[in-house]
Amino acid sequence: MDWREFRQAGHWPTLLSAFLYFDVSFMVWVVFGPLSLYLSQDLGLTIEEKFSVVAVPILAGAILRVPLGVLADYLGPKRTGSFAQLAVIAGMAWAWLFGLHSKLEVELLGVVLGLAGASFAVALPQASRWYPPRYQGVVMGIAGAGNMGVVLDAMFVPWMAEHWGWQAVFGALLIPLVIVLAIYLALAKDAPEQRAKVSLARYATVLGDRDTWWFMFFYSITFGGFVGLGNALPLYFTDWYHTSGIAAGMMAALVVLAGSMARPLGGILADRFGGIRTLQVLFVIVAGAYLTVAFLPQGPAPAAAATAKVAGWALDELPGSAWLAVAVFFLGATALGMGNGSVFQLVPLRFRNEIGVMTGLVGAAGGIGGFVLAKALGISKGMTGGFFAGFSLFAGLAAIGLVGLIAVKTRWRTTWGAVSGAQV
């Protein structure tokens, strides 16, 4: 790939702004994952309620992606993204100043944070419209790599909550939110490409295309797995391996870092070898990783109680079984992240004129997949005492995704793929 030509092909300040906007938005979207370890102590939540709380922002983000995508087509991505970011900042400021005193208040804030998750429907189309088809994989990979915000959460939120209290975390996160909003307002531009008018009939037409549902299903596996794990892993590690809150956050950070950094690589490989071929290999890896994790036994608990707010094994004390789990999750998350980039190498090739609508729909499906994963793990733990059923379910979905790709690849390559101007 000619990087000099790539830099000249589009508008890099918008690509950078979209990356930063998505990064901080993703960071606050999944903040309940590591923060729930501390929130739940004050609110007295059960293990199932903990997983439910972390799933609320994911579901809200999934639902809100479609209307936010409509607004991005109608008002323009920059204006829509700015309004959404201001609403998220207001919700975070309220939680910082006044606190959260019940499960209902946490869930209501989760709905507001869903707007941050819905930023996917703004940032990716805004970057995509500046670049030609041959660069869609790498562009969507770079913009989408903003999902590394979950890494920052996992690394720093438990430490801040442990030392400053969970309420102060919301105030600390306001700082990057405000800074990035200023950068976004100064640098981002909407592409000159004419946007198609949004209508219910247009949505009905897109939803009536069977390819839409395939893309939604594939992304519910890849992005759903990534965001679901990003929110659920701190709870999983503290419950199944008896780790401290800070150790659980660092373990989760290692896993989600793999998925975040791998997204551009998935787009690059899809540009080189085709999104279909790349996804087929990745779904095999994902299914194998989930199935392996499902069979991992519970780790031992430390003999002596610690004084931390969320006590357990420290990072340098973790038993070998916990590190084995991290290694398997790392491999699976890498495949999930590459899968995200691979799916969005294909989407703009198939639906170039409906990229705003498709980003909203496919992104919503990804969010729903993450919600289902988090809920499935909570239900599995509550009903059976373990996580086997939850992880086995998603291993099965990845296997079904592989079968689906095999079923559609010939038709895709001989129809729209043949005239797309890129590898399919």
Please give the residue range of the domain that contains residue 91. 12-189+210-419
**pLDDT value, residue 194:** 59
What pLDDT sits at residue 195?
Answer: 57
Q: What is the pLDDT of residue 252?
A: 94
**Which pLDDT score is estimated for 196?**
57
Residue in 208, 275, 235, 258 with CA at minimum distance from that of residue 387 = 235
Number of domains in the chain: 1
Average pLDDT over every residue of 336-363: 85
In contact, 62 and 388? CB cutoff 8 Å? no
Average pLDDT over residues 220-224: 95
Give the pLDDT score at 2: 60
pLDDT-derived band at 305, boundaries 50, 70, 90: low
* For range 243-272, the mean pLDDT: 90
How much is the pLDDT for 186? 94
Contacts of residue 225, Cβ cutoff 8 Å, sequence gap at least 6: 286, 290, 332, 333, 336, 369, 370, 373, 394, 398
pLDDT, residue 352, reads 78
Q: What is the pLDDT of residue 139?
A: 79
At residue 154, the pLDDT reads 87
Is 2 among the domain residues? Answer: no
Q: Classify residue 22: in a domain, yes or no.
A: yes
Q: What is the per-residue pLDDT for 368?
A: 93
Please give the backbone phi and psi of residue 313, each rounded to the nearest 5 degrees, phi first.
-60, 135
Identify whether 7 is part of a domain. Answer: no
Stretch 120-126: mean pLDDT: 79
Query: pLDDT tens-digit profile of 175-217?
Result: 999 999 999 999 989 887 655 556 667 778 889 999 999 999 9
pTM: 0.88
Query: What's the per-residue H, E or C state across 351-381?
Result: CHHHHHHHHHHHHHHHHHHHHHHHHHHHHHH
Q: What is the mean pLDDT of residues 222-246?
A: 94
Asked whether 229 and 375 are in contact (CB, 8 A), the reply is no
Lowest mean pLDDT among 128-142, 240-254, 343-357, 386-400: 128-142
pLDDT recorded at residue 24: 92
Binning pLDDT at 50, 70 and 90, where does residue 92 land? very high
Tell which residue, 8, 15, 16, 29, has the closest CA to residue 230.
29
CA–CA distance, 176 with 72 (Å, rounded to integer): 23
Range 69-96 average pLDDT: 90
Report if residue 6 sits inside a domain: no
Q: Residue 337's closest CA among 26, 77, 60?
A: 26
pLDDT number for residue 102: 92
Q: Is residue 57 part of a domain?
A: yes
The answer, yes or no, to whether residue 330 has pLDDT greater than 60, is yes
Computed over every residue of the chain, the mean pLDDT equals 89
Residue 351 has pLDDT above 70, yes or no: yes
d(Cα 315, Cα 244) in Å, to the nearest integer? 8
Within-domain flag for 199: no
In-domain check, residue 5: no
Q: What is the CATH number of the domain that holds 75?
A: 1.20.1250.20
Instruction: Say if 159 falls within a structural domain.
Output: yes
Between the CA atoms of 156, 159, 160 and 163, what dihedral angle is there, to the nearest 10 degrees? -170
242: left (phi over 0), alpha (psi -120 to 50) or beta: left
